[in-house]
Structure 1
Amino acid sequence: MNKRCSQRTNQRLPIRLHFFGDQTDISELQDISNGGFFVRTDTVRQLAKGVVALVSIGNESAPVLAEVVRIEAEGAAFAVLNEVTD
């Protein structure tokens, strides 16, 4: 059953995840929607549902705070919490 509220589009963009506690992971965005995205990452074993990360997608986007909402063998799904402003 698909519980998504918005359409997802396939995107292959670099994504940088800054986890609180100094861990940084550079991965590949697989798909994105208005409210979230799925990231392919080799560090999925280090993630847990509810973990919040500061996320930069591509080279020119404003960073956002996002929460891990689902973990799969090949990566993790994140829900966007809000944009980070100065």
Structure 2
Amino acid sequence: MAMEEYDNDGGVLSVVVDNSGADDIYQLAKSYFDLGEYRRCAYALKDASAPLPTFVREYATFLAGEKSKGQSAGVSDDGGDGKGLSSAGQ
């Protein structure tokens, strides 16, 4: 929603655009991205049209594909020993 402020001669002094809903969605998507929830991030930004959210959506989609390829190939994040994180220090 845009709100305009006018001077005494009818000229536009400023235009304020309220896109706080879009900002909230972007912050949610960024949180998902930071947590590695790339598919959720991309879904949250499915209706984005601004350049930055669009880039984040496309990059998150790419990373989700890379993550699923890594999981299907047997690559793990546990250090490669196959024992998991619970075996650290034993």
The answer, yes or no, to whether TM exceeds 0.5 is: no
Larger % of strand: which?
1
Report the structure number with the largest CA radius of gyration.
Answer: 2
Q: TM-score, normalised by structure 2?
A: 0.20
Query: Relative contact order, CA 8 A, sep 6+: which one is greater?
Result: 1
Q: TM-score, normalised by structure 1?
A: 0.21
